[in-house]
Amino acid sequence: MRKLATIRTVNETRPIDGADMIELAVVDGWKCVTKKGEFSVGDAVIYCEIDSFLPVRDEFEFLRKSSLKTMDDREGFRLRTVKLRGQISQGLLLNPSVLGRSFQVGEDVTDELGIVKYEAPIPACLGGEVVGAFPAFIAKTDEERIQNLASDFVTYRGKEFYVSEKIDGTSFTAFVKDGEFGVCGRNWQLAEDQSNSHWRVAHAFSLHERMTALGRSLAVQGELVGPGIQKNRYGLKEPAVFVFNVYDIDASAFLEKSAMEAVSEQLGLPIVPPLGMIAVPETIDEILAIAEGKSTLNPNTEREGLVWVHGSGDDRISFKTISNRFLAKGGD
């Protein structure tokens, strides 16, 4: 489970130009706008990540005007990227005293605070009958944001990573194992239904037949985009899948880039747009700046960000960098 609220340490505070009442607090790779003087360098804080859905509690009531949302028929406060006095702010810092107990830096307090990940309502075209949970024999992909890898970042500097555009859609997986063919969203295997966008794509590309013909137990993972999905940012007329991983089920390993591209070509599926090999710069601010730019799929829209991959197998390193420009313009 994702650690949405953790005990961390304030690394730095910075003034904000033209602001008398607020300042910037830096925690690992994250920057949060706070009241001036509320936190000092070295202070322990609870850092709540963006995409957190906080319960209705007195200590979170100051968020009501800006962040109140309803998810699964209950109210709460969604944290997302905001811009205050021209400064990007990502997340919320709390005094650990709200726990009412002793604590340790690095501790996960997500469950204790009743925080869950915010999930947007599922569009009707993505709904459908659920067959069961996402298959346990397939590894899920949920790349960590670079801001949460601040302690590891120094080891990445100067290394060349294969970089591809992160597409803003919804998770798609199709698999063949022991003669069984299945289609999944992020968390569930879905029953065959032509009104469901996942299955429409599977039929359109004859994935059952093509994947079976490969004679291997594989899972193809990609991002499903198109009408009714994430505001269809790319202006597509039909649902489409862009592959970012192919998983060898029998070997319990992701295929290397060249093998992934070969399988995708055999299936007639495009891969996520590649940017090629890029060396990791010196700072997190610099690598986040690289994430900004226009999408390869539609030059009129901001890209969501980038995914960085180095090595393979047990030596595989991967993470994502989300564009602050995309987030500031209302991206999820």
- Whether residues 106 and 129 share a domain: the answer is no
- Whether residues 188 and 309 share a domain: the answer is yes
Residue 150: is it exposed, middle or buried by C-beta count within 10 angstroms (0-12/13-18/19+)?
A: middle
- Res 245: pLDDT: 93
In this structure, is the dihedral angle defined by the CA atoms of residues 143, 148, 152 and 157, taken in order, positive or negative?
Answer: positive
- Whether residues 16 and 157 share a domain: the answer is no
- Res 235: pLDDT: 93
Alpha carbons 123 and 320: distance in angstroms, whole number: 25
- Whether residues 142 and 177 share a domain: the answer is yes
What tens digit of pLDDT does each residue of 127-164 get? 667 888 899 899 877 789 999 998 899 999 999 999 99
Domain count along the chain: 2
- Res 294: pLDDT: 96
- Its pTM stands at 0.80
Close Cβ partners of 136 (under 8 Å, ≥ 6 residues apart) = none
- Whether residues 203 and 288 share a domain: the answer is yes
Residue 256 has pLDDT above 70, yes or no: yes
- Whether residues 101 and 187 share a domain: the answer is no
- Whether residues 223 and 310 share a domain: the answer is yes
Q: Domain end: 72, 87, 117, which one?
A: 117
pLDDT averaged over every residue in the chain: 91
Alpha carbons 211 and 214: distance in angstroms, whole number: 5
Mean pLDDT of the region 107-119: 93
Report which of residues 73 and 38 the model is more confident about: 38
Mean pLDDT of the region 248-269: 93
- Whether residues 111 and 255 share a domain: the answer is no
Q: Domain end: 117, 144, 170, which one?
A: 117
- Whether residues 98 and 215 share a domain: the answer is no
Neighbour order of strands in the sheet with 305-310? 274-279, 160-166, 305-310, 317-322
Q: Domain end: 96, 117, 138, which one?
A: 117
- Res 1: pLDDT: 59
Report which of 32, 268, 42, 310 is spatially closest to residue 158, judged by C-alpha positions: 310
Alpha carbons 71 and 79: distance in angstroms, whole number: 13
Residue 43 has pLDDT above 80, yes or no: yes
Confidence category of residue 106, pLDDT binned at 50, 70, 90 = very high
- Res 127: pLDDT: 64
- Res 152: pLDDT: 92
The whole domain housing 102 covers: 5-117
Q: What is the CATH number of the domain that holds 84?
A: 2.40.50
- Res 332: pLDDT: 55
77: β partners: 54, 68
- Whether residues 168 and 293 share a domain: the answer is yes
Q: What is the CATH number of the domain that holds 271?
A: 3.30.470.30
Close Cβ partners of 239 (under 8 Å, ≥ 6 residues apart) = 125, 197, 200, 201, 204, 224, 225, 226, 227, 229
What tens digit of pLDDT does each residue of 18-35 get? 888 999 999 998 999 999
What tens digit of pLDDT does each residue of 166-216 get? 999 999 999 999 889 999 988 889 999 888 889 999 999 999 999 999 999
- Res 47: pLDDT: 97
3-state secondary structure 272-303: CCEEEEEECCCCHHHHHHHHCCECCCCCCCEC
- Whether residues 259 and 308 share a domain: the answer is yes
CA–chain centroid gap for 132, Å, is 23
What tens digit of pLDDT does each residue of 297-328 get? 999 999 999 999 998 777 889 999 999 999 88
- Whether residues 258 and 280 share a domain: the answer is yes
Residue 18: is it exposed, middle or buried by C-beta count within 10 angstroms (0-12/13-18/19+)?
A: exposed
Alpha carbons 239 and 133: distance in angstroms, whole number: 23
Least confident piece of the model among 4-18, 101-115, 301-315: 301-315
- Res 297: pLDDT: 95
